[in-house]
Amino acid sequence: MHFHVQLINDPSTAERRPKSLPAHWAYLTENAAHLLARGPTVADDNDSDTTGSVFFVEFPDWDAVRAFIDHEPHNNNGIYKAIHVNRWDHALGRSQSDFPAERGRIHWYVRGYGVRGSGERRQAALVAQREYFARHDSDKFIVRGAILDDQGKEWLGSASLIALPTRKEVEALIAEEPFTRNGCYENILVQRHKFGGTPAQSK
C-alpha cells in the first residue's frame, strides 16, 4: 500500500529540530526500502527555513505506516504541529532516486484538495487529465498520484513533486490541468521542496 505523509512544523519548537536531525536521518536511512520520495518543504526565498516535511512511502498496511510515523525522531521531539497521512496512488511507479539531485534545480510540492462530490466532473475530465500529464511526466513530475480515502477507493485530491524553476511556472502548469479547469479542486497548496537526506546525500 502506498501512502502520502504531510508533516507541518510547529514554529514555536523550531529550536528543537537540530537536536533530532541526526537521528531523523539515521531513521530514514534504516527505512529507506519504504521511501519513494521524501524531503523538507521550505520557504521560497530561503531553503534553510524549513516549514515541514513530506514523505511518499510504501508499507504493507495502516498499522505499519502509523508505527513508522510514531517512531520518527522529529515527531518524538515535538517539532510538528500537524501530521496528515493518506492513501496515495503511486501513478508513475518510480521514486525520487530516478531524479538524482542536480545543483540549482528547483523542486516543488503540490497538494491538491479535491472538492467533495466532484466525481462526475472528475470523470468527465479524466481522459484529458491523463493526456495532459503524459506530456510532462518525463521531465517535470518526480512523483505524482491521487490522494484517496482510507479504503483506497474515493478520490480526495492529489499530491506530487514537480521540478520547475519558478513558482509562476508551477502555477501555470496547474492552471492548465483539466481537473483544475473543471473545478475539481477546492484548494491547491504549492511549496518549495528539497530532496531529503544528509547534506552529502542531497548534493
66, 90, 114 - which closes a domain: 90
Report the run of H or E that residue 131 belongs to, with start and end: helix 119-134
Residue 52: inside a domain: yes
| pLDDT at res. 46 | 81
Average pLDDT over residues 132-145: 94
Whether this prediction's pTM lies above 0.85 is answered by yes
pLDDT recorded at residue 47: 77
Q: Where are the beta strands (DSSP E) in the chain?
A: 2-9, 35-43, 46-58, 80-88, 107-114, 141-148, 155-163, 185-193
Tell me the residue range of the domain where 150 lies. 103-192
Please tell me whether residue 119 adopts helix, strand or coil conformation. helix
Domain end point (choices 90, 122, 154):
90
Q: Check whether residue 138 and residue 77 sit in a common domain.
A: no
Taking all residues of the chain, what is their mean pLDDT, rounded to a whole number? 92
CATH at residue 114: 3.30.70.1060
Whether residue 72 lies inside any domain: the answer is yes
Q: Where are the alpha helices (DSSP H) in 149-195?
A: 167-175, 178-181
Mean pLDDT, range 176-180, rounded to an integer: 96
147 near 4, Cβ under 8 Å? yes
Same domain, 140 and 164: yes
Question: How large is the average pLDDT for residues 170-184?
Answer: 96
Residues 6+ apart with CB under 8 A from 37: 54, 55, 56, 95, 96, 142, 143, 161
User: Number of folded domains in the chain?
Assistant: 2
In a domain, 21, yes or no: yes
Tell me the mean pLDDT in the region 162-180. 96
